Amino acid sequence: MKPMLSFFVRMIIIIVIILFTHTHYSIACFKPENISVSNITQHGATVNWSNISAAYSYEFVVSTSSNLPTIKGSFTTNNNYQLQSLSANSTYCCFVRAICARGDTSDWNYICFNTPCSGLQMYNIIVTDITATTARVSWAPFQNAGSYEFVVDTSPNPPAGSGTPVSGTVTMLQGLIPDTQQCVHVRAYCTASNSFSDWSITCFGTLPAPQNVTDMTGSQNISISPNPATNQLNIKNLHGKNNISISDITGRNIYSSTTMATSESIDISHLQAGIYLVNIIAENIHFVQRIVKTSW
């Protein structure tokens, strides 16, 4: 082969190799896509992403900030990563990038998620201004709480169901039973992780009722049963036109009706377990009785 022709052939081969290598090198190292987080608990999670065919490995960084990493991460040849030793009720951002030929790296891609607040408890539940039938309850704000729930009953055991929602950290209890142990259960709802903290509890005793105060005034013939009640409340011995209402311990009216009948049955199966006041107002009669709603 003539020297000049041989030179041109070699140059063409070199150019082809360079172009092929450069093209392969520049388009292969895409950033990982379809990042997802599963199996989220208070202290762990699994992060997955789509496999990059040209990647030799992946670099992974977990942070509490959405800013791009400035530190060196961990390396894995898998397209998933198991997170451990996380903190409950916290936000984490997971960054991943591909490591390709000749040490080339893709751009970072990331996803953020929140660990649940279950397993944590409320603190500093304080009961003040206690009377025979009322009390003031307050508690310390809970980090990242969107709202709270509370239940008032006579048991120190955690409630089985949900409670009365409140947005603040103070609530007034009404309609309590005099001279009785009352237990207040409070938990936080964490909006970001759509989870609840554990129930926290404090118990206290109401004062005895003044001797000249009773649960009812007016007609003693009106009866409400059963008490405690689970699904149905039966009112008997009504006379004339009666305005019937039921309120919870915060004073919120949850039921009202007017009847001319001598008896009335009220479905209370949808109510939360707790203490309620039944008010019946008729001509020359104001009847009030406390009832206990149970969940069993």
Residue 215 has what pLDDT? 47
Residue type, 217: T
Rounded to a whole number of angstroms, the distance between the first and last alpha carbons of the chain is 99
Q: Is the residue at 8 inside a domain?
A: no
Q: What angle do CA 175, 177, 179 make, to 5 degrees?
A: 140
Burial of 108 (0-12, 13-18, 19+ CB in 10 A): middle
Domain match, 240 and 195 both = no
- Following DSSP, what letter does each residue of 33-70 receive, concatenated? ---EEES--SS-EEEE-PPPTT-SEEEEEEESS-SPP-
Domain match, 105 and 137 both = no
Q: Three-class SS of residue 14? A: helix
Q: Is the residue at 11 inside a domain?
A: no
Whether the predicted model's global pTM rises above the 0.95 cut: no
Domain match, 187 and 136 both = yes
Number of domains observed in the structure of the chain: 3
Domain match, 131 and 100 both = no
Domain match, 143 and 82 both = no
Residue 210 has what pLDDT? 61
Q: The domain spanning residue 263 has which CATH number?
A: 2.60.40.3080
* Rounded Cα–Cα distance for residues 250 and 273 (Å): 14
Domain end point (choices 172, 205, 238):
205
Q: Is the residue at 16 inside a domain?
A: no
Q: How many CB atoms lie within 10 A of CB 169?
A: 18
Domain match, 197 and 246 both = no
CB 233 within 8 A of CB 265: yes
The answer for residues whose C-beta is within 8 angstroms of residue 76's C-beta and 6 or more apart is 57, 58, 60
Domain limits for position 272: 223-293
Domain match, 192 and 256 both = no
Q: Is the residue at 180 inside a domain?
A: yes
Q: What is the mean pLDDT of each run of 10 residues along the chain (296 residues)?
A: 54 52 58 96 95 93 94 94 93 96 90 93 90 91 92 91 93 87 94 92 85 48 88 90 85 85 91 85 80 80
Q: Is the residue at 9 inside a domain?
A: no
Q: The domain spanning residue 64 has which CATH number?
A: 2.60.40.10
pLDDT digits (tens, 9 = 90+) for 227-248: 889 999 999 988 888 889 898 8
Domain match, 190 and 267 both = no
Domain end point (choices 158, 175, 205):
205
